[in-house]
Structure 1
């Protein structure tokens, strides 16, 4: 009888738990339906929204306005200073003149919470009746990443990068960093925290080139990365956590997003700079007008809204070619200029100087190689053991420029011919003299950059033969590509929606989002969602940062990795 009572109690407890869960789910559904009904019944009249910058953040904001605020797309205006949308999500070129990928935006299936949710509502252009999220994840699952040549020496030896290379001092410094509060790290650099040995470990070479950190980068940002990407810590040697798009990010992300927005009537203006904003007097932050680079002015009505890109890491990029180095930068960052102008007028709009004031520390250079046929890619495959699209980064750790290359699955561009192949790479130390080409990378032509890389691979005896299959190499110098990692104070990055704002928000890699990490697509999308939901009072969930750094199993695995 006693056992029977226990059994009945257990069944009763399970039933109660089930009912409790069911009630909670029903309440959640009811609340969501109430929110949807409230939003669908809103009337915005002639309210206009101006989105300054045409990158993924502002385009995501436009999508959230349409999808979650029930806002009329015809009253959304995207103003972009360049001739093409996409910001840092780029990919352009032709089979005849060569392709350009300034870089590759690596995605992550586990940690890009809002990114995947947004693109799950954007229809794929290539896969009928499926979303962009479904298209990307399907492609990635069919083309998994597992680098077999993550680190390569100057004698062309593939290192066993499974070993992190830490000593006890490195482990203690890392452990101390993870337990130190963010507010105690203002202005500190990574090299001020770690000893010299740390920067010779396999871990540092891999982490540095995966995420583009420098010794002088913000310690604060490294700590955020270690917390946010702790899942990657144990698999940094294979990059198994990297999720790749089927094509470059412009073709795979920006084109379907633009198509979605255009179908809803969103207005796009290209080749037009916004150089300043006018604000109403008083303590509140209320934008009253947009000042354009052509001298024009857009006056705002009282109910209008402005969402501004307050900085872009690919601003002022310059391109070279086979015979020409990428030119020096002669113009001021346009996005930083706008940010600087408005920061002088109101409190709480941040400070661009730590990010855009030291080009020497924030630059690196990429190069895209366009080939006829696949002979060079086959050679890379034979060396690395990775077919195109499966290897992610291969870093030549002893090269003076610290060169890394990526061979994506082919084709990488929508308009790429079957007999054309491409790969891209980058060097972090552009001021250093090459090991074979005795010039700084900054001063090198596309041909010289490729020759340096060929020599690093030990293939210089075949250079003349290899050269016959090269269409071109396009180097791209990016003066501010690492700017978001610069040492800073907590107050230097503004809030997405600043205190006292009535109609203004900022979205970029230079706003402050607690617990999240910059230099990611997720950061831009999350900022966009915060901006729209806050300014339009949308009572829906912004998916929080997943706390993998509190998962005992993940922490145990990370601790074990430190001793590999």
Structure 2
């Protein structure tokens, strides 16, 4: 009887807990319905929203305005300085002249919380009755990543990169970094935190080339990455956590988002710069006008809102071709110029100088190879053991430019012919002289960059045969691509919605979002959501950063990885 009595008590407790959980869930549903009803009843009148920059952050902000604020798309205005939308999510070209993607944005299924949620409401252009999230994750699950040649030596030997290569000093320094306060890392570089041995480990070569860190990058950002991407630590040698889009990010992400916004009447102005903002006098941050590069001024009404891109990592990039190096950068970053102009006028708008003041430390160069047929891709496949789309990065760790390549699933462009293939690569040390082409990478033509890579692979004897199938190699020099990793003070990155702001927010890789990491799609989308929800008083959840760094199982696996 006693045992039966205890069993009934336990059952009663479980029943009560279940009922409480059910009641709580019902209340959440009721509250959500009330919030939705309130938002749907809003009348905004002639209120206008101006979005400066046409990258994923401002486009996401426009989508949130329409979807979650019930705002009229016809009163949303996107002003972009380039002749095409997309910002750093790019991909363009032709079969005849060659394709170019300045970079490839790697996604992650577990940690891109707001990105996946937003794009679950954006219809796919290629898969009827499904979302962009459905399309990307379905493609990725059918084309899983498992790199088999993550690190390659100068002797064309594929290293066993499963071994991290840490010594006890490296492990101790990493453990201390993960436990350090962010405030204690103002201006501290990775090189100042770790000893020389750390930079010869397999881990560093892989982490550096996966996320584009430099020795002189911020230790603060490495700490954020290690905590945010701790799931990737144990699989950095295979990159199994990388989620790939079916095509380049412009075709797979930007085009469907653009179609959604156009359907709702969003106004796009291309090839027009915003060079300055005017503010209302006083301690509040209230934008009153937009100054355009053509000399015009857009006067704002009192209720209007401005959301500005305060820095772009692909700003001022230049492109070459088979016979021409990517030109030197001669103009100031346009997005940084705007940021500098407004930062002088109001406190709390951050400081662009640590990010856009040292091109020598923030640049690298990519190259996109377009070929007729698949002979070169087949050769890469035979060497690496990875079919196109399954290998992610292959890094030539001993190359003076520290070259890495990615062979995406083919086709990688919407307009790519079946008999055309492409692959993409980049070099981090553009000022170094090549091992075979005795020039700095940034001074090289597309032909010279490809020749250096072919020689690194040991295939130079077949050079004449290889280039018969090459349509073009397009180098893209990006002076500020690593700018977001620069050492800085906590105050240098402004808040998404600055203190005392009444109608102004900033979205980019150069705003401050606690616990999240820059150089990601998620950072841009999260910033957009914060901006819209704050300025429009949207009482809905912004999905928090998932604390994998507090998961005992994940931490145990990370600890094991430190000793691999």
Q: TM-score, normalised by structure 1?
A: 1.00
Cα distance, 1:4 vs structure 2: 1.2
2:540 pairs with 1:534: no
In the alignment, structure 1 residue 20 sits paired with structure 2 residue 20: yes
* Alpha-carbon distance, 1:177 to partner: 0.6
Q: Hey, what's the Cα distance between the residues in 2 that align with 1:532 and 1:225?
A: 26
Q: C-alpha offsets along residues 502-525 of structure 1, whole Å, 9 cap, x if unaligned?
A: 000000000000000000000000
The one-character-per-residue Cα deviations of 1:482-534 (angstroms, maximum 9, x if unpaired) are: 00000000000000000000000000000000000000000000000000000
Give the Cα–Cα distance (whole angstroms) in 1 for the partners of residues 379 and 6 of structure 2: 68
Q: Distance in 2 between matches of 1:411 and 1:2?
A: 70
Distance 1:21 1:328 in 2: 62
Q: Give the C-alpha shift of residue 29 in structure 1.
A: 0.4
* Residue aligning to 1:471: 471
Instruction: Report the Cα distance in structure 2 between the residues aligned to 1:17 and 1:231, rounded to whole angstroms.
Output: 32
Q: How many Å apart are 1:157 and its aligned residue? A: 0.1
Alpha-carbon offset, residue 13 of structure 1: 1.1
Give the gaps of 5 or more residues in structure 1: none
1:320, CA displacement in angstroms? Answer: 0.2
Partners of 2:387 and 2:236 lie apart in 1 by 19
Shift of 1:47: 0.1
* CA displacement at 1:346 relative to structure 2: 0.1
TM-aligned CA deviation for residue 562 of structure 1: 0.2
Q: Secondary structure at the match of 2:325?
A: coil
Structural mapping, 1:138-217, within 5 Å: 138-217=138-217
Distance in 2, matches of 1:103 and 1:549, equals 28
Report SS of the residue matched to 1:303: coil
- Secondary structure in structure 1 of the residue aligned to 2:490: coil
Residue by residue over 1:56-113, the C-alpha shift from the partner in whole angstroms, topping out at 9 and shown as x without a partner, is 0000000000000000000000000000000000000000000001010000000000
- TM-superposition CA deviations, 1:143-176 (whole Å, max 9, x none): 0000000000000000000000000000000001
The aligned runs of 1:70-109 (5 Å cut-off) are 70-109=70-109
Q: Match of 1:78, SS?
A: strand
**Pairwise CA distance, 1:14:** 1.3
Question: SS in structure 2 opposite 1:468?
Answer: helix
Deviation at 1:211, TM superposition (A): 0.1
Q: For 1:20 and 1:140, how far apart are their aligned partners in 2?
A: 39
Q: In 2, Cα distance between the equivalents of 1:432 and 1:126?
A: 43
* 1:486 aligned residue: 486
* Partners of 1:28 and 1:118 in 2: CA distance: 20
Between the aligned partners of 1:156 and 1:298, the Cα distance in structure 2 is 58
- Secondary structure of the corresponding residue to residue 130 of structure 1: coil
> How well do the aligned residues superpose, as a CA RMSD in angstroms?
0.3
Query: Quick one: distance in 1 between partners of 2:188 and 2:423?
Result: 36
TM-score, length basis structure 2: 1.00
Offset of 1:242 from its aligned partner?
0.1
1:119-147 deviations in whole A, cap 9, x for unaligned?
A: 00000000000000000000000000000
Per-residue deviation at 1:3?
A: 1.4
| 1:68 match | 68
Q: Partners of 1:451 and 1:22 in 2: how far apart?
A: 65
Deviations 1:351-380 (A, max 9, x none): 000000000000000000000000000000
2: CA distance between counterparts of 1:391 and 1:36?
Answer: 44
Q: Does 1:367 align with 2:390?
A: no
Q: When the two structures are aligned, how many residues end up with a matched partner?
A: 564
How far apart are the structure 2 equivalents of 1:94 and 1:10?
69
Q: How far apart in 2 are the matches of 1:198 and 1:222?
A: 13
Counterpart Cα distance in 2 of 1:245 and 1:179: 34
CA distance in 2, matches of 1:518, 1:561: 24
Determine the C-alpha separation between the residues in 1 that align with 2:178 and 2:330: 40
Q: In the TM superposition, what whole-angstrom CA distance separates every residue of 1:379-424 from its partner, at most 9, and x where no partner exists?
A: 0000000000000000000000000000000000000000000000
Q: CA deviation at 1:260?
A: 0.1
CA–CA separation in structure 2 for the residues paired with 1:460 and 1:507: 46
Alpha-carbon distance in 2 for matches of 1:234, 1:369: 31
Tell me the SS of whatever aligns to 2:217: coil
In 1: Cα distance, 2:174 partner to 2:4 partner? 54
* Secondary structure class of the residue paired with 1:99: strand
Q: How many angstroms does 1:205 deviate by? A: 0.1
Mapped to 2, the partners of 1:237 and 1:180 lie a distance apart of 26
State the Cα deviation string for residues 418-437 of structure 1 (Å, max 9, x = none). Answer: 00000000000000000000
Residue in structure 1 matched with residue 423 of structure 2 by the alignment:
423
Residue aligned with 1:422, SS: strand
| CA displacement, residues 252-280 of structure 1 (integer Å, 9 cap, x when unaligned) | 00000000000000000000000000000
The answer for the alignment partner of 1:260 in structure 2 is 260
Map of 2:243 onto structure 1: 243
**TM-fit CA distance, 1:535:** 0.0
In 1, the alpha carbon distance for the partners of 2:179 and 2:77 equals: 44
The 3-state SS of whatever aligns with 2:492 is coil
User: In 2, distance between residues paired with 1:73 and 1:178?
Assistant: 44
* Residue-by-residue CA offset, 1:464-499 (whole Å, 9 max, x unaligned): 000000000000000000000000000000000000
Relative to structure 2, which stretch is displaced further, 2-11 or 391-400? 2-11
Deviation of the 1:6 alpha carbon:
1.3
SS of residue matched to 2:50: strand
Q: Distance in 1 between matches of 2:377 and 2:17?
A: 57
- What CA deviation, in whole Å up to 9, does each residue of 1:271-300 have, x standing for no partner? 000000000000000000000000000000
For residue 10 of structure 1, report the CA deviation from its aligned partner: 1.6
CA displacement 1:190-225 (0-9 Å, x = unmatched): 000000000000000000000000000000000000
Q: Counterparts of 1:394 and 1:31 in 2: how far apart (Å)?
A: 50
Q: CA deviation at 1:51?
A: 0.1
Q: What CA deviation, in whole Å up to 9, does each residue of 1:315-364 have, x standing for no partner?
A: 00000000000000000000000000000000000000000000000000
Q: CA deviation at 1:11?
A: 1.3
